């Protein structure tokens, strides 16, 4: 008698966006493999702030839907994946940079740094070069504070990336600019992977301090950040908390379906 086919676990879908990379090692290997193949692709890291913006910004949702790789950058999203029965680990943009650079150095893949400001980029490039000897940093560019992904400044940035020949580009522009710009680059750059990484370059340069690792592990990095910048982050996290009940309600059908399939 033939064995019944094994059902593959379903990926968690959050407000129409599927988390398709379950861990940091898988994210790094997928990104590096795609870059070695000469693919054009984008990487997004979904968190609650992004969920809020997905409801409000059609261009942001469109950019997310074009991303080849999406990780979970939010503890509530990790919890929902566990309830679904297909647990993922939290993988932020900041988590990606150094392991991707390590593999890029081994595979001879050049990188480009875009975002933040020029002193931060210079210091980040220096530290990455020192840590990963032989890593080729093909170029850096810090656009203006009000960067528009469809402006002439964005045109210039795309030309800089293209001329550099970089296989991977780290975008530290903040959401939704970095995701929208990454989606535009999919149409205008061939053979470059665009990684949306938020404040990661500032963490490497030391111009911003990331929460202690223990705080990250227990899902309270957001609280640590809010305590250190309450005026800016307080309203943002209030909006994030407000979306949780709706997010759970929308995910319950997935969870029930997955559990019924597992029990069958």
Q: How many domains does the chain have?
A: 1
Residue 185: the pLDDT is: 98
Per-residue pLDDT tens listing for the chain (264 residues): 444 444 555 799 998 999 999 999 999 999 999 999 999 999 999 999 999 999 999 999 999 999 999 999 988 999 999 989 889 999 999 999 999 999 999 999 999 999 999 999 999 999 999 999 999 999 999 999 899 999 999 999 999 999 999 999 999 999 999 999 999 999 999 999 999 999 999 999 999 989 888 888 877 888 888 888 888 888 888 898 888 888 888 888 898 888 788 777
- Return the CATH number at 91: 3.40.50
Residue 210 forms part of a structural domain = no
In a domain, 229, yes or no: no
Residue 232 belongs to a domain: no
Number of neighbours of residue 61 by Cβ within 10 angstroms? 18
List alpha helices for 16-74, DSSP H. 24-36, 48-56, 58-65
Residue 263 in any domain: the answer is no
| pTM of model > 0.85 | yes
**Residue carrying structure tokens 């990963």:** 132
Q: What angle do CA 84, 85, 86 make, to 5 degrees?
A: 95
What is the four-CA torsion angle of 215, 221, 223, 228, rounded to 10 degrees?
100
Residue 8 has a pLDDT of 54
Note down the domain range covering 81. Answer: 23-205
Residue 249: its pLDDT value, please? 87
User: What's the pLDDT score for residue 105?
Assistant: 98
Residue 4's pLDDT is 45
- Quickly list DSSP for 10-32: PPPEETTEE----SHHHHHHHHH
> Does a structural domain hold residue 39?
yes
Tell whether 29 is covered by a domain: yes
| Structural domain contains residue 175 | yes
What pLDDT score does 237 carry?
83
Give a yes or no: residue 227 inside a domain: no
Q: Is 15 left (phi over 0), alpha (psi -120 to 50) or beta?
A: left
Q: Quick one: pLDDT at residue 115?
A: 96
């Amino acid at each position: 008698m033939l064995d019944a086919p094994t059902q593959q676990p379903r990926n968690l879908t959050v407000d129409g966006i599927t988390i398709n990379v379950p861990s940091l090692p898988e994210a790094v290997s997928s990104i590096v493999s795609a870059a070695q193949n000469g693919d054009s692709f984008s990487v997004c890291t979904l968190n609650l702030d992004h969920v809020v913006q997905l409801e409000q910004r059609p261009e942001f949702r469109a950019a997310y839907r074009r991303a080849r790789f999406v990780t979970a950058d939010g503890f509530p999203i990790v919890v929902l994946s566990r309830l679904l029965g297909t647990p993922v680990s939290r993988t932020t943009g900041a988590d990606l940079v150094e392991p991707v650079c390590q593999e890029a150095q081994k595979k001879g893949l050049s990188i480009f740094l875009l975002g933040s400001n020029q002193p931060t980029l210079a210091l980040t490039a220096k530290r990455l070069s020192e840590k990963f000897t032989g890593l080729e940093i093909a170029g850096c560019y810090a656009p203006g504070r009000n960067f528009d992904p469809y402006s002439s400044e964005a045109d210039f940035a795309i030309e800089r990336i293209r001329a550099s020949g970089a296989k991977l580009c780290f975008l530290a522009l903040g959401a939704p600019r970095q995701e929208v710009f990454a989606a535009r680059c999919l149409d205008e750059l061939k053979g470059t992977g665009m990684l949306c990484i938020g404040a990661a370059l500032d963490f490497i340069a030391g111009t911003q301090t990331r929460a202690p690792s223990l705080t990250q592990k227990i899902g309270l990095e957001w609280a640590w950040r809010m305590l250190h910048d309450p005026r800016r982050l307080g309203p943002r996290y209030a909006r994030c908390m407000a979306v949780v009940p709706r997010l759970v309600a929308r995910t319950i059908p997935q969870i029930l379906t997955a559990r019924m399939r597992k029990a069958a």
